[in-house]
């Protein structure tokens, strides 16, 4: 019987991973979250099957107690968002860097078998070549990117220096159910969903021709679990956890209009500071060493996500015109 700890388990990706872990017979799942960006309602319906520890990863002693007896720790707790980290770098530094250090240190002390760390594609910055491969030199463009890069470097060094089995997965623009659309720092697809359902125009920063490797959350959860089961030889390394495609924001909004049978034009605003222009994962290493096998096309992922938002969002629907 395995005991899993998911830091950030009440967050968007974490709460989807928790559901995926619960499908494993006999799995014991512990959620560590301080509800800074995570939400109790994300884990409400699975609450009876899990243990929840309201712990802030900036507190080492609490983290150490939380990871005690864990076989695998999925370290997803973070303050995300590139623009948030630019506007207010202190909290995200404390959580993403110091918090990650605490988790790695605690897992070493408590002899946790393996830690899966949520890295970020933002670490690459702008590269001359696409898709992006793990060998490329990182060129972070924002505090958030630096923080995630520090986290993955620590994860690698904890493996080489202390023998803690770590795997870093660089997440590429994950989307899906339970992504919070409620803040200006929310992921673009969650914002698009909310706007579409409300029949409002989204604002696209720049010309909308920037590209992202949008990855459906279920594929990311699956990869997290595969990374935990991979042989030890796969540890101490960084892997791209993307889908392998890239789409412009204009294409995403157009696809959503098609799915919904609407024709709502986007508004365009100034470029967003710290933005990477293009992002696409080379998934060769994750496929080869971890068995990564993404199942969801962008369109299929968008359909499922839209269905979830429609059922969950309490947005006032305008009267259908004509």
Binding status of residue 245 toward ligand UD1 by CB under 6 A: no
Residues 115-144, interacting with ligand UD1 (CB under 6 A):
120-122
Among 183, 203, 258, 295, binds ligand UD1 (CB under 6 A): 203
Complex with ligand UD1: residue 42 or 210, whichever CB lies closer = 210
How far is the C-alpha of 307 from the C-alpha of 90, rounded, in Å?
36
Closer CB to ligand UD1, 47 or 272, in the complex: 272
Q: Is 172 in the site for ligand UD1 (CB under 6 A)?
A: yes
Print burial letters for 17-28: b (CB count within 10 Å at least 16), e (below 16).
Answer: bbbbbeeeeebb
Question: E strands of the chain, at which residues?
Answer: 3-7, 28-33, 51-54, 72-75, 114-120, 165-171, 174-175, 203-205, 211-212, 215-216, 237-241, 247-248, 267-269
Q: Does 205 bind ligand UD1 (CB under 6 A)?
A: yes
For residues 3 and 71, what is the distance between their CA atoms, to the nearest angstrom? Answer: 5
Q: Which residues are catalytic?
A: 144
What SS3 string covers 141-198? CCHHHHHHHHHHHHHHHHHHHHCCEEEEEEECCEECCCCCCCCCCCCHHHHHHHHHHC
Number of residues this chain uses to bind ligand UD1 (CB under 6 A):
23
Is 183 a binding residue for ligand UD1 by CB under 6 A? The answer is: no
Shortest distance, CB of residue 185 to ligand UD1, whole angstroms?
7
- Nearer to ligand UD1 among residue 105 and residue 212 (C-beta): 212
Q: Which is nearer to ligand UD1, 60 or 308 (CB)?
A: 308
Contact flag: residue 191 with ligand UD1 (CB under 6 A)? yes
DSSP state of 281: B
Part of the chain binding ligand UD1 (CB under 6 A), chosen from 157-165, 168-176, 228-236, 254-262: 168-176
Distance CA 4, CA 12 (A): 17
272 is a site residue for ligand UD1 (CB under 6 A): yes
Q: Which residues pair with 32 in a beta bridge?
A: 7, 53
Binding mask 273-292 for ligand UD1 (x = CB under 6 A): --xx--x-------------
Residues 61-100 that bind ligand UD1 (CB under 6 A): 80-82
CB of 250 to ligand UD1, least distance (A): 10
Return the range that interacts with ligand UD1 (CB under 6 A); candidates 41-49, 130-138, 186-194, 254-262. 186-194
CA distance 33 to 256: 32
Candidates 37, 42, 179, 210; binder of ligand UD1 (CB under 6 A) is: 210
Is residue 96 within 8 Å of 147, Cβ to Cβ? Answer: yes
């Amino acid at each position: 019987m395995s005991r899993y700890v998911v830091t950030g388990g009440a967050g968007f990706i974490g709460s989807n991973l928790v559901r995926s872990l619960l499908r494993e017979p006999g799995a014991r799942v512990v959620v560590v979250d301080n509800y800074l960006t995570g939400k109790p309602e994300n884990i409400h319906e699975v609450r009876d099957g899990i243990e929840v520890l309201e712990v802030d990863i900036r507190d080492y002693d609490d983290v150490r107690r939380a990871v005690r007896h864990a076989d695998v720790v999925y370290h997803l707790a973070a303050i995300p968002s590139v623009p948030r980290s630019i506007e207010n770098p202190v909290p995200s530094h404390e959580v993403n860097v110091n918090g990650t250090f605490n988790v790695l240190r605690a897992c070493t002390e408590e002899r946790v078998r393996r830690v899966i760390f949520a890295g970020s594609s933002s670490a690459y910055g702008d590269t001359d070549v696409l898709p992006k491969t793990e060998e490329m030199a990182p060129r972070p463009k924002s505090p958030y990117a630096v923080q995630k890069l520090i986290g993955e470097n620590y994860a690698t060094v904890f493996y080489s220096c202390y023998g803690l089995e770590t795997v870093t997965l660089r997440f590429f623009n994950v989307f899906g159910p339970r992504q919070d659309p409620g803040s200006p720092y929310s992921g673009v697809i969650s914002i698009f969903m909310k706007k579409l359902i409300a029949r409002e125009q989204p604002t696209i920063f720049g010309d909308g021709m920037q590209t992202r490797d949008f990855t459906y959350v279920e594929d990311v959860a699956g990869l997290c679990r595969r990374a935990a089961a991979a042989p030890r030889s796969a540890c101490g390394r960084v892997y791209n956890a993307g889908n392998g495609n890239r789409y412009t924001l204009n294409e995403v909004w157009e696809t959503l209009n098609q799915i919904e049978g609407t024709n709502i034009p986007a508004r365009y605003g100034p470029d967003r500071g710290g933005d990477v222009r293009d992002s696409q994962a080379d998934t060769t290493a994750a496929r080869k060493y971890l068995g990564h096998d993404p199942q969801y096309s962008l369109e299929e992922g968008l359909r499922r996500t839209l269905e979830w938002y429609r059922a969950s969002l309490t947005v006032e629907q305008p009267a259908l015109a004509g």
